[in-house]
Structure 1
Amino acid sequence: MKELLEKIKDKQIFITGGAGFIGSTLAKVLLPDNKVIIYDSFARNAIKNTELLNHPNLTLVEGDILDLEFLTKSIQGSEYVIHCAGIAGIDTVVKNPVKTMQVNMIGSANLLEAANKLENCKRVVCFSTSEVFGQVAFKSEEITPTVLGAVGEARWTYAVSKLAEEHMAYAYYKQYGLPTVTVRPFNVYGPNQVGEGALKAFIENALQNKNIQIHGDGSQIRAWCYVDDMVEGVIRTLVHDSAIGESFNIGNAKAVTTIYGLASTIVRVLNSKSEINFIPKTSADIELRIPKVDKARELLGFEAKVDLEHGITNTAKFFEGVLV
């Protein structure tokens, strides 16, 4: 990572959703040698009570990506743009489908329009989602057909909105030459995670010896990516020109387990007394999700390094301090 960061120094980097989980982790890595502007509504705030708040290179801007005028004003002078902002999390999406579509589609269109007016924009990295591959995604490649999902099933509202963002990002690259990149995160977890997330919820309950609830029978299969690996993948898209105009799966194809296997591993690794319970599913679920990351490896030199048990241990250490 140190060699990568040597290539990004004394730059102005604009991060939408920078107060969130991945955005704040990115900011922490980039702040020592760059001016970082976090543009966020602070609906989910992972940077409160952290050392980031007092960093001299950090500027916090409370704003909405639906406000094109303010967004355009706030982004001025930036050379790198990382677009993490968006509505995510199945429970949040189900409760706010209209807001999800507005923020993820119109907000992303606003961000791309604002970035396109910059004088010296070197990169715009847009965050999509592995959800675009639908319910079954086994070793999915970047060119694997995406799935829109049935109208009326709330879960696919999120996937459709993110897929629209992907098409918009590529359109700005093709029509205007804006140096866009799309990343598709696959089940990212780690310290400082906010909002929803199965692994986070399992760890919090395990630390308190509370019951762990699994929706369905637990046979759903996931590949889990530690946040440090995700951040490295994003940094690589910033420094490699081969990333421009491309999309990349960012995940850990080696850290694969069922949801039940994940819960069992967490209980074992943390020496927890938690019991594992099964409850009915309340919405459509992803039965299988494992990325193929060959493209990221070949063009970016990306390779996830953190194994699942090590990642669980690191994440638990963080939440132990939070839950005290």
Structure 2
Amino acid sequence: MIELKNKKIFITGGAGFIGSTLIGKLIDENEIVAYDNLDRNTLKSQPFSKHKNLTLVEGNVLDRAHLIRSAQESEIFIHAAAIAGIDNTVKSPVRTMTVNMTGTSNALEAAYQAGTVERFLEFSTSEVFGSRAYRVDELNSTTTGAVGEARWTYAVSKLAGEHLTHAYHREHGLPTVTFRPFNVYGPGQVGEGAISIMIRKALRNEDIYIFGDGSQIRAWCFVDDMIDALMKALSMPKAVGESFNIGNARAVTTIYGLAETICRVLNSKSRIIFRDALSADIELRIPNVDKADDLLDFKAQVDLEEGLVRTAEWIAKNMDDLPQMPDMFLSK
């Protein structure tokens, strides 16, 4: 068992949603280096942004030499930097593939060359299960859509990184763990996540657009639950060499049902408006999380409505500092 105290922890994407939330849990008892290009900077609005134990290094995961230098002597290495979000993927498939594949390769090599890493954790995606995934477990075959469909470049790029992560574990003995998150949301999310966009629209009583018929089904995982799983995976020996589905199989709703729930919970006057689908979409995605339960003793605790209220409270307080949101989203 690794005790997460007095460790040097290196986090790529440390200024992002997941990275900055994790820093808040670890900062008081560890030395943390957040490595980020600052395209999205959630960290700056956190109360611990100036903490004496935190060092922010501005850098790009495509710069292998800089990444290797910056990660020297790291004991815990979390690779959270990536191009995420289906809208970004559709607009910039080349950048998505390059950053996610090469960036993961560089991160693994940096952790390996450090020679001090006790745990390396990287993020894959639930997208690797394709367009229909009902209670899929980690042994289910991964699948993607047609070559040339921009949406699937994200899943392919993350799956390649996952395979490489397992290869570093087998060939070099690097103590790796992979997470496949299922639709994580919560305070600090400033990108194009469906819940973040819908809540911001609802708070302003603006029209909420759904692309497609809204029948797409998702399971939503609150970020605090994700961080709970992550903390366990960083410390428990059974996690090494494994991939885990991380999500909340109880918090399930259609995209339309999600919009309705947000409007009801926030007492919003927003209209829900349907538009034609813009890209290939995923009809159904619900995880089986038995493996995380068995090996990590992980069970999601935060139900959807509670999570929506807590997320809305954070967004309302930080609305003026959030980046401009797109009018639409694709339901990742």
Superimposed CA distance per residue, residues 1-38 of structure 1 (whole angstroms, 9 cap, x where no aligned partner): xxx9x931000000000111011101111101101100
For residue 56 of structure 2, the aligned residue among 54, 57, 60 is 60
Runs of 4+ in 1 over 3 A off after TM superposition: none
Q: Equivalents in 2 of 1:27, 1:227: separation in Å? A: 13
For residue 94 of structure 1, report the CA deviation from its aligned partner. 1.3
Superimposed CA distance per residue, residues 287-322 of structure 1 (whole angstroms, 9 cap, x where no aligned partner): 100000000000000000000000000000011112
- Are residues 1:101 and 2:97 paired? yes
For residue 99 of structure 1, report the CA deviation from its aligned partner. 1.1
Alignment partner, residue 263 of structure 1: 259
Superimposed CA distance per residue, residues 227-260 of structure 1 (whole angstroms, 9 cap, x where no aligned partner): 0000111111101010000000000000000001
For residue 288 of structure 2, the aligned residue among 279, 288, 292 is 292
Q: Which amino acid aligns with 1:29?
A: K
Alignment partner, residue 19 of structure 1: 15
Structure 2, unaligned stretches of length 5 or more? Answer: 321-332
| SS of residue matched to 1:52 | coil
For residue 273 of structure 2, the aligned residue among 270, 277, 283 is 277
- Are residues 1:312 and 2:312 paired? no
Q: Which amino acid aligns with 1:105?
A: M
Alignment partner, residue 147 of structure 1: 143
- Are residues 1:46 and 2:47 paired? no
Alignment partner, residue 128 of structure 1: 124
Superimposed CA distance per residue, residues 87-125 of structure 1 (whole angstroms, 9 cap, x where no aligned partner): 111111112111111111111111101101123211000
Q: Which amino acid aligns with 2:271?
A: E
Where in structure 2 are the equivalents of 1:1-324 lying within 5 Å? 7-323=3-319
Q: What is the CA RMSD across the aligned residues, in angstroms? A: 1.1
Q: Equivalents in 1 of 2:277, 2:144: separation in Å? A: 21
Size of the alignment, in residue pairs?
320
Superimposed CA distance per residue, residues 212-231 of structure 1 (whole angstroms, 9 cap, x where no aligned partner): 11111110000000000001
Q: Equivalents in 1 of 2:136, 2:127: separation in Å? A: 11
Q: Equivalents in 2 of 1:193, 1:301: separation in Å? A: 26
Identity among equivalent pairs (%): 59
For residue 186 of structure 1, report the CA deviation from its aligned partner. 0.4
TM-score by length of 2: 0.95
Q: Which amino acid aligns with 1:28?
A: G
After superposing the two structures, state which structure 1 stretch, 45-54 or 158-167, moved more. 45-54
